[in-house]
Amino acid sequence: MHPHRNFTLQVQLSLGVAGVLTLMSLAPSLTLQSVAFEPSQIQQPALNQLQEAEALNNQGVELANQGEYAAAIRLFNQAIAIYPHYEKAYSNLGIALGSQGQLSEAIAAFNEALKIDPNNWETYNNLGIAWGMQEEIPNAIAAFERAIQINPGEPISYRNLGIAYVKQRQLPRAIAILEQAQALYQDQNNASEVAQIEQVLARLRQAIKASE
């Protein structure tokens, strides 16, 4: 398989208290990968199609990282047309569409990716961001919760879920979830995220106290 480059989801959603926190993309952990087959498992015609699709996909990544989203979207669509089972091409298409503000189309692309790999927590996280940007917070919450079910050790999903609950004004629940995110970031020695979440937790606790 050819090497694949990292592609950062550029779409972020401000749901935090006084804009302190935003929904986080998967940078840089979202790595472009081919479909999960070894060459020996694929017949030669299909392997040729996959390799052609991968080349288009990687060209799309290059363009997207340069901000050329419209051109990247065309290449991701071409990759999918050649190899319809290419899950990462759908995921990257969703990222590029979301970066262009085409949120309904991004959601559709992420859902297609999840049909191929229903256990990809990263795609669920990105789907949640897209739902959140449409102010469809219950759908965003469901996506983040599914990401946590699949990968309970990843703090970014707890962080985003907590922010979504802030948006719903469910502050005690948001605090509990953000505390989980903070603990996981602490385990990763991510002092910046720990400190940022602590600032938000302090504001949330003050808001609850003021309302009593």
Q: Torsions phi, psi of 4, nearest 5?
A: -125, 150
Q: Determine the topology of domain 143-212 in CATH.
A: 1.25.40
Q: Residue 13's closest CA among 184, 193, 164, 202?
A: 164
108-122 burial string, b = 16+ CB within 10 Å, else e? bbbebbbebbeebbb
8 Å CB contact between 158 and 184: yes
pLDDT by 10s per residue, the chain, length 212: 333 333 333 333 333 333 334 444 433 233 344 344 444 455 666 778 888 999 999 899 888 888 899 999 999 999 999 999 999 999 999 999 988 889 999 999 999 999 999 999 999 999 999 998 888 999 999 999 999 999 999 999 999 999 999 889 899 999 999 999 999 999 999 999 999 899 889 989 998 998 88
Does domain 1-18+25-134 bear CATH number 1.25.40.10? yes
pTM greater than the 0.95 cutoff: no
d(CA 150, CA 107): 19
Grouping H, G, I as helix, E, B as strand and the rest as coil, residue 65 is helix
CATH 1.25.40.10 region(s) of the chain?
Answer: 1-18+25-134, 143-212
Distance CA(73)–CA(89), nearest Å, equals 10
